Structure 1
Amino acid sequence: MHHFLCVIMYGMTMGSVTIALNIFFLSTFARPVQTAGGKGLHYGVIANIIPDGSANKSKITTRGTLSCAQACFTKSMEGSCTIASYNKNTKECTLSTSTVRDLMHNEDYDEVTLFPQSGCDVKDLPTVDNGVYEKTPFMPGFYSIRCAEGYDISLASKLNSFICDVTKTWIYNNVTCIPEAELKFTEGRSFVATFMGNYEIPNKTFHLYIVTSDYDVNSTFQYSTVTVNIPNTSFQKTYTIAKYLEIELSNVNISDAIYISTTDPVTVFTMNKNQYSTGGMLVFPLISLGKTYVIATTPYDDLESSLVIIPIDIEAKFTLSFPDNTTENVYITYGKSYELKRSGLSGTYIESDEPIAVFAGEKCANLPDAGNYSCDHIIEQMPPLDALDHEYIIAPTKPRSYFGLLVVATSQDTTHVSINSETDTPIYTSYLKRHDTFYQTFDNAQHLSVKATEPVLVVQYGVSISVDNMSQGDASMFVVPGINHFTSKYRFVVPDGYNTNKVILIYNITNGNDPRAGLKLNGNATYLAEMTSIKLNALEDYGVCYLDIEAGVHELENTETFGAVLYGQGRYIEYAWNLGMYMWK
């Protein structure tokens, strides 16, 4: 999620007087920039937003050294925001104009307290296409990029700030302006999903979980409508959704294309559930999909491994290149799906002429190999190649004793992959090319990092219960979010029927930064005392925490971005999926 810096266009008169300030909105992001030598940006937070009872006014109060006007952040880029009055003693601003209605909750506001210097030359900054640099009034040495109409900043996890430091050197991230339609998140209004075979389900009952992206977690007001369309069965139905909606489908066939459209942004999860075999996943919105993919199913050759490909437009032509150097060309039209079962699917490379949705999994998985029986269903939607990262933090799924990790190469060039310990000591290194995979089973005492010279797909498995002989859990699978996939807010459903449900939270804790104090669960401050530190490299450290959570619909948010994975364990059963990803193009 990104925020917008309000740049003041006119001067102000200090004191408790009425003023009129027009404020223009520039994209900026709430993630500290870590630079060589341990430098960083300090953050304050706007303390409160106070409605005054009218439809077009609100007040905000601030903490920190900046004035209210200088610290104004808003969600909207349309129009201007006028500060009607300002009180220097209380640091209260009264905001007017209808744009106040678009203001986000107070925890989404950030006040950037910077101490920039003068003396740098803006000509030394890199050229930016489809955008211009603008100097922030009252803050010498501080610039931001304003993207042209129809464009926005490409990296939601990066800070759009260009700061002249005390050595007269610019501190900045590489920021580009891209078309707004290319911004990639896992919330959206249009999706396509499918269900794959589950060994223990003869009656084909499947679950869709749909969570609205903007709601009061303590209310149940009507929010949106959802339409589910399954062309292969002529099924189409419209539902009303408040906070979330669970849809149980019984008249759907394996690998059917299930199109989901909503009037407002939502997050979608699916679950194929039975007493002893469960598979579920996060579903990506159509706008986040791409044309090229690599596949991860089981880490070993298995005849029951399968993939499903669904077009999102009128038609798609694609080529599958398998690890055994064979290929297959496929043409498919809207509403249809392509299903393939064969051995050795992990590492398969797919290239299409149009965006497609790709799903992969196993009907009867035994992990890490066929010698460890569990026969559990696993499934995940594959992220497109241009959304993959090259750095990942890996956390075990406690209290299980072991977990598996699969790395799938994407590049034709040689990719160096290193799996490192908590202290950044290499445990395994490998050189991979496209179609190559690397798998290893680890004990649950280990927190790891994965680093690669090229983008890679990383998948984590819960192993068969026969591996650790525990009464809880079994085989499961989820796509691991990379450190650049993190966002600051997640809304999700925790399914019922499991003895243990936990969320893995991954934070950037570089230079002693501790974001745990900013965590809120369903609007309530939640502090997690235990945290394991992981050194990613010489300059960056990450922390891993675990949150026990009950069945139901939830919202997790923080003042800084973080990674989040949900998993649940019961007797001979386990599910796992990541809760959301920022997916760039």
Structure 2
Amino acid sequence: MTVLYLQERNKSRDENDNAIKIGPNAETHGQNQKTAVCPNDPIKGMNYTTAGKTGIQGRQFLICFTDNHEEAVNQPKTIYILSDEDFELKLISKFSTQLIKDVVTPTRNLIEINVISAVALSDFKIEEKALLIETTKDVSVIIIDNFITSSDSTGILPIKSTSNSYVISTPRAFNKTLGPQFAIASPRNGTIIKIHFHFDPDLPTTIDGITYQNGSIMLLVLNELETYEIYHIVDLSGTFIDSTSPVAVFSGSFCHKVPFENSTDFGYCSKLDEQLPPIDRLDKMYIVPPSFKKMGTVLKIVSPFQTRLTYKIGNKQTEKILQPRGFFEITFSDKDIVVIDSEKAVLVTTFATGSNDTDGPYMITVPGFRQYTDKYLVMVPENFKENYVTIIIEEKSLYNLILNETKIIHYLNDRKFYTTVPFRKMNFVVLVLQVNGGLLRVESTDTAAFGLIVYGHRKHDGHGFAGKAVLPDVCVPSHQ
């Protein structure tokens, strides 16, 4: 028996207090910021074997829906909650008692909640638009903003896996209209947040009468279930967020065009949306698959640390040195694999390119090698024309995979993409399968950890998300 509650908590901020004073290079007073002393290598001594049994499961989740295209104003947003066990849940909101449009429970493992479009965030406003989910059993949560031509999806990290420090990855601004955005949501009262801006190029922006430049610091305070969204017409990658208590951070664009290299065929704009992992949950090693049936993929690597890394495409290996807040992009085709090996933890995101022939773009936070887990339960949205999963697994364990109680060998004749990738004295397989919409359970019978990415295409639109797992704590540098 599953019971759904909606609670509207008391308002925590007077209307006149809605615009907390914020300013460049502001300082906090009266509260201690959580910092850590870092060795030269924050992950030194950690085991390199794949290990990650927690995935994205938990019992508390904080959600917000970032801004979408203005034509999506009447389109509901969807929350999928999945579990192997019967569970009860509470959906807690300060925003509205009329938040929910409808609830669908097609199976005992899945609850689909559609919420009103008014819950979407607005730029440069403190709003009470975060949603808190609490459950009696471990669940996974996936959200999708599902407008017919401007959609994207993301897996949600449980609150226990959020933290105080983040580095931002966004797409490059496409033009003076289609720029990137990121948003912050707080589960607690009195959370003091410092945003250390990084603008590329260095184009100042004015917020509430205050001008911010590259390197400026914005200070704001968020109370329980409050959100704040920032938009600019330059790349915001490398921006740091530090907070006095854990927050959830989402990044992307309300509607974006992502061309492949210098192509002038970039199709329609589409929403980009991803919940970002905190710095203390990032990895150093990644196998980055292509975006299947796309002209190509734009890969962005953002480093919170000074680090040396290598990336390899085919037989060509390139070395890079990144400074703190540094980032770079590369593009690769739908037949290539990128292998990344960094001395220190980095954030890796991809942007599937769009075109008139290959549908719209979407954004994915790529799971690191040690962020894989041995079992995923995900929802594949059903109203996309084509749905795919990418699986990254050590070759020796491939035939131990099971999809919805069917052995992987029964899918291999219909595979869409298959290649082997050598990595650290191991051989991995990158496999793309076309799947039906609906509940998808993927697991390995030998408990081998693997990566999973889900995405879908339809005319002028697309979405994608990764089955996320998180690392144990690593140290987080202070960004004062």
TM-score category, normalised to shorter length:
0.7 to 0.9
Question: What is the identity, as a one-letter code, of the residue corresponding to 1:434?
Answer: P
Equivalence for 2:293: 399
Separation of aligned partners in 1, 2:343 and 2:421: 20
Separation of aligned partners in 1, 2:246 and 2:300: 25
Task: Work out which of the residue numbers 259, 264, 269 in structure 1 matches 2:137.
Answer: 264
Residues 349-393 of structure 1: CA deviation (Å, up to 9, x unaligned): 111111110111101211148964522100000101011011100
Task: Work out which of the residue numbers 214, 220, 223 in structure 2 matches 1:330.
Answer: 220
TM-score (norm 2): 0.76
Separation of aligned partners in 1, 2:438 and 2:170: 29
Separation of aligned partners in 1, 2:273 and 2:82: 20
Equivalence for 1:448: 338
Q: 1:276 to 1:240 in 2, by over 3 A?
A: closer
Equivalence for 1:316: 191
Separation of aligned partners in 2, 1:293 and 1:501: 31
Check whether the contact 1:157–1:486 (CA below 8 A) recurs between aligned residues. no
Q: SS state of the match for residue 449, structure 2? A: strand
Q: SS state of the match for residue 233, structure 1? A: coil
Q: 1:570 to 1:368 in 2, by over 3 A?
A: same
Separation of aligned partners in 1, 2:112 and 2:248: 22
Report how many residues are paired.
389
Check whether the contact 2:284–2:345 (CA below 8 A) recurs between aligned residues. yes
Separation of aligned partners in 2, 1:251 and 1:501: 25
Check whether the contact 2:294–2:354 (CA below 8 A) recurs between aligned residues. no
Task: Work out which of the residue numbers 244, 252, 274 in structure 2 matches 1:361.
Answer: 252
RMSD (Å), alpha carbons: 2.5
TM-score (norm 1): 0.63
Q: SS state of the match for residue 224, structure 1? A: coil
Question: What is the identity, as a one-letter code, of the residue corresponding to 2:222?
Answer: I
Task: Work out which of the residue numbers 78, 83, 104 in structure 2 matches 1:207.
Answer: 78
Residues 394-431 of structure 1: CA deviation (Å, up to 9, x unaligned): 111212231110111111x2x223220244x31x4322
Q: SS state of the match for residue 464, structure 1? A: coil
Q: SS state of the match for residue 386, structure 1? A: helix
Structure 1 unaligned residues grouped into runs of 5+: 1-153, 160-181, 216-222
Check whether the contact 1:184–1:288 (CA below 8 A) recurs between aligned residues. no
Separation of aligned partners in 1, 2:402 and 2:182: 37
Question: What is the identity, as a one-letter code, of the residue corresponding to 1:312?
Answer: P
Equivalence for 1:245: 111
Equivalence for 2:57: 187
Check whether the contact 1:233–1:252 (CA below 8 A) recurs between aligned residues. no
Q: 1:302 to 1:211 in 2, by over 3 A?
A: farther
Q: 1:155 to 1:355 in 2, by over 3 A?
A: farther
Check whether the contact 1:191–1:259 (CA below 8 A) recurs between aligned residues. yes
Are residue 534 (structure 1) and residue 400 (structure 2) matched?
A: no
Separation of aligned partners in 2, 1:463 and 1:185: 27
Separation of aligned partners in 1, 2:421 and 2:47: 24
Q: SS state of the match for residue 280, structure 2? A: helix
Q: 1:441 to 1:208 in 2, by over 3 A?
A: same
Question: What is the identity, as a one-letter code, of the residue corresponding to 2:399?
Answer: A
Separation of aligned partners in 1, 2:290 and 2:59: 33
Equivalence for 1:569: 457
Task: Work out which of the residue numbers 383, 407, 430 in structure 1 matches 2:277.
Answer: 383
Question: What is the identity, as a one-letter code, of the residue corresponding to 1:361?
Answer: G
Q: 1:382 to 1:508 in 2, by over 3 A?
A: same
Equivalence for 1:232: 95
Aligned counterparts, 1:50-61, within 5 A: none
Equivalence for 1:279: 152
Equivalence for 2:36: none
Separation of aligned partners in 1, 2:137 and 2:175: 41
Equivalence for 1:56: none
Separation of aligned partners in 2, 1:394 and 1:418: 13
Q: 1:301 to 1:346 in 2, by over 3 A?
A: farther
Separation of aligned partners in 2, 1:239 and 1:574: 24
Question: What is the identity, as a one-letter code, of the residue corresponding to 1:188?
Answer: G
Which is higher, the Rg of structure 1 or of structure 2?
1
Cα deviation, residue 344, structure 1? 2.8
Equivalence for 1:345: 236
Cα deviation, residue 235, structure 1? 5.5
> Structure 1 vs Structure 2: percent identity of aligned residues?
23
Structure 2 unaligned residues grouped into runs of 5+: 1-45, 122-128, 199-213, 474-480
Check whether the contact 1:367–1:463 (CA below 8 A) recurs between aligned residues. yes
Equivalence for 2:347: 457
Task: Work out which of the residue numbers 416, 420, 423 in structure 1 matches 2:312.
Answer: 420
Question: What is the identity, as a one-letter code, of the residue corresponding to 1:225?
Answer: E
Check whether the contact 2:188–2:245 (CA below 8 A) recurs between aligned residues. yes
Cα deviation, residue 567, structure 1? 0.8
Check whether the contact 1:157–1:561 (CA below 8 A) recurs between aligned residues. no
Cα deviation, residue 185, structure 1? 3.6
Question: What is the identity, as a one-letter code, of the residue corresponding to 2:74?
Answer: N
Separation of aligned partners in 1, 2:302 and 2:55: 22
Question: What is the identity, as a one-letter code, of the residue corresponding to 2:163?
Answer: G
Check whether the contact 2:359–2:462 (CA below 8 A) recurs between aligned residues. yes
Cα deviation, residue 475, structure 1? 0.9
Separation of aligned partners in 2, 1:183 and 1:346: 30
Aligned counterparts, 1:29-108, within 5 A: none
Aligned counterparts, 1:541-580, within 5 A: 541-558=427-444, 559=446, 560-580=448-468
Separation of aligned partners in 1, 2:434 and 2:419: 16
Q: 1:155 to 1:248 in 2, by over 3 A?
A: farther
Separation of aligned partners in 2, 1:155 and 1:420: 23
Q: 1:540 to 1:475 in 2, by over 3 A?
A: same
Q: SS state of the match for residue 283, structure 2? A: coil
Instruction: Give the number of the structure with larger relative contact order, counting CA–CA contacts within 8 Å between residues 6 or more apart.
Output: 2
**250-259 or 290-299, which deviates more:** 250-259
Q: SS state of the match for residue 383, structure 1? A: coil
Cα deviation, residue 549, structure 1? 0.9
Question: What is the identity, as a one-letter code, of the residue corresponding to 1:379?
Answer: D
Separation of aligned partners in 1, 2:271 and 2:61: 22
Residues 237-279 of structure 1: CA deviation (Å, up to 9, x unaligned): 7979621011111164223201111111110011111121111
Aligned counterparts, 1:156-175, within 5 A: none
Check whether the contact 1:227–1:262 (CA below 8 A) recurs between aligned residues. yes
Equivalence for 2:15: none
Cα deviation, residue 583, structure 1? 3.2
Check whether the contact 2:354–2:360 (CA below 8 A) recurs between aligned residues. yes
Separation of aligned partners in 1, 2:162 and 2:271: 24
Question: What is the identity, as a one-letter code, of the residue corresponding to 2:423?
Answer: L
Cα deviation, residue 326, structure 1? 1.4
Q: 1:195 to 1:261 in 2, by over 3 A?
A: same
Separation of aligned partners in 1, 2:467 and 2:439: 12
Question: What is the identity, as a one-letter code, of the residue corresponding to 1:263?
Answer: T
Separation of aligned partners in 2, 1:489 and 1:156: 19
Equivalence for 1:125: none
Cα deviation, residue 542, structure 1? 1.7
Equivalence for 2:402: 520
